[in-house]
Structure 1
Amino acid sequence: MSTLVPTVAEEIEPARRALVSHLVATGIAGPVATPRENNLLHYRLLADRDPYYLLGLEPAAHWTRDSVLELMARKAGVSPLINYRYGQDTIDPERTADALDRYAARFGRALRERQRVLFATGHPDHLSPLYQRFAATLEAAGGTVVEAADGWGYDASTRHGRKRLEIRYFLGVAMVEDPGGPVHSHAARPIRAVLAELVGSGEPLPDLVVADHGWCGGAGQAGIDAIGFADCNDPALFVGEAEGTIQVAVPLDDGRDPEHYELVGDYILARATA
């Protein structure tokens, strides 16, 4: 009697179902913490070209709040109803899984080709352990983890007044810190400084940037392959993906506890190394 060997599709499908269940259970997708009114405000601010919400990108002038909403309904699964203005919004976990498949495919290419990759985050408290895991995987595969402009700084206005911010790397992942440690950041100035230092020193630019917020948007705007995670209230990377500036934008709540992203990392790496 012959033994049936599962096909690749049969092996992948249970893993995807487990991923989708995990996304909803942890609030990474499904009904998310981001309120609808916050989403709509940010869609309008992007359409108004507020620099904080452009994340380093320079989108076409035709975007309006309503067209950004339509895009986010299609890309992320938020409610498409224009008159739904208050309450809880959603991220479709199936759309998240689809985007993670594309993300894994591009990162898998970086592993196979031993590419030069920059890892960076504007969400150090939440996403840095996941990126550090990716950086270690790339290095083990023979790729190069790019680090440049460590210690470069600038003065920035924050809700707490002017602060000195500096680029720092922790286990291969770039982030911005103030005197108190790593901070949340939308800024694209740091990635521009990194790229400028690489050019100035005659080093090659990264083949890929794995990041979020302004690190991802600024890299894509500079013509570098960039893949990133983005919450449903940060539409810029999805606009960039629609315009071909960003390779992959993955819709997810980017502010959950770090351990919640461990299974997301398992899913990505399983596909990237298959």
Structure 2
Amino acid sequence: MSTDVEERTALRAHLLRTRIAGAVATTRDQSLRRYALFAARDPRALLGLEPERDWSVADLLRLMAERCGVSPDPGRISGTETIDPDRTLDALDALAERLGRAAREREALLIGTGHPKRLMEFYVPLAAALSAAGCDVLTPGEGRDVDITTRFGVRTYNLSYVRGVALLRDEGVREPGGHSGVHTHSPLPVRAALAAAAAGPHPLPGLVIGDHGWACGAGQLGFEAVGPADADDPAPFVGQSEGRLSVVVPLDDAVRSDYYRPLTRYVLNRACLSQ
């Protein structure tokens, strides 16, 4: 059996090889545009978070350099972005510790993603392992309509669950067991799910696991939230800094879905949840 050091070293190499960390596909100008939107409190960048204080672009750049590993140089305005793989690994360790505690205490959990075509391979094994450990993996509001404003106007989607992981589908689409779904950063899906849980018969979750609006929207409502975030999404890291998200894992959130499987195995091994 490999040692913890060997496992961490192997995963670090995988992060760099697949560009989940290291030199990632996210560009510097893309990050800076998102930081500017967040500083202007544009809802597209806030992801459901309401910052407690004003954050300038310079503030956000310092935060993202500290938490994510991007270059702190404000003069660097082009090229590829960087995520420090050791920060990713440290955050995965923290995630493993939190999920291990959730399993020991058999907490009720809500898991959801706005990137179903990429990140389902990260979440589905977590849901399976936590359910097997005795956690109640919730599915509140399944089938509920969620109206989201897009550049094409208001569109209605359906809240759906695939093996315990929530996602949105186009209205009328039913694909049992399928991973296809809508790419969204909106906090409205998690608000719909939590409202359904509050109305019963589901319990409220002790922990929400998700990305983008799932994590930030839940954290803003006072639920403990954890999940991954890319270098151009400052909202989860601000939420962590302000105490509304407990763990944020810096990583590129748009690589091949199967590339995330070793990250999930690592978390489950560290949490003593491997099946």
SS at match of 1:183: coil
**Which residue in the other structure is 2:192 paired with?**
193
Question: Separation in 1 of the partners of 2:149 and 2:192?
Answer: 18
Q: 1:95 aligns with which of 68, 87, 101?
A: 87
Contact 2:146 2:192 in 1 (8 A): no
Matched, 1:256 2:248: no
Q: 1:168 aligns with which of 153, 160, 178?
A: 160
Could you list the structure 1 runs, at least 4 aligned residues long, displaced by more than 3 angstroms after superposition: 159-162
**Which residue in the other structure is 1:45 paired with?**
37
Pairwise CA RMSD: 1.5
Q: Which has the larger radius of gyration?
A: 1
Matched, 1:155 2:147: yes
Q: Which moved more, 1:206-215 or 1:58-67?
A: 58-67
Question: Separation in 2 of the partners of 1:127 and 1:253?
Answer: 10
Matches within 5 A, 1:124-139: 124-139=116-131
Question: Separation in 2 of the partners of 1:233 and 1:85?
Answer: 13
Matched, 1:74 2:66: yes
> If the length of structure 2 is used for normalisation, what is the TM-score?
0.93
**Residue 90 of structure 1, CA deviation:** 0.4
Q: Deviations over 1:244-272 (max 9, x none)?
A: 11000110001111110111011100011
Question: Separation in 2 of the partners of 1:221 and 1:157?
Answer: 20
**Which residue in the other structure is 2:177 paired with?**
none
Question: Separation in 2 of the partners of 1:114 and 1:80?
Answer: 41
Match for 2:196: what amino acid? E
Matches within 5 A, 1:1-274: 11-179=3-171, 182-201=181-200, 203-273=202-272
Q: How many residues align?
A: 266
Q: Which moved more, 1:60-69 or 1:247-256?
A: 60-69
Match for 1:140: what amino acid? A
Match for 1:66: what amino acid? A
Q: Deviations over 1:122-163 (max 9, x none)?
A: 100011122111111011111111110111113323244442
Question: Separation in 1 of the partners of 2:47 and 2:272?
Answer: 30
> If the length of structure 1 is used for normalisation, what is the TM-score?
0.93
Q: Which moved more, 1:157-166 or 1:94-103?
A: 157-166
Alpha-carbon spacing, 1:224–1:162, altered in 2? closer, same or farther (3 Å): closer
Contact 2:91 2:247 in 1 (8 A): yes
Unaligned runs of 5+ in 2: 174-179
Unaligned runs of 5+ in 1: 1-5
Q: Deviations over 1:73-127 (max 9, x none)?
A: 0000001000100111100000100111111110111111111111100100011
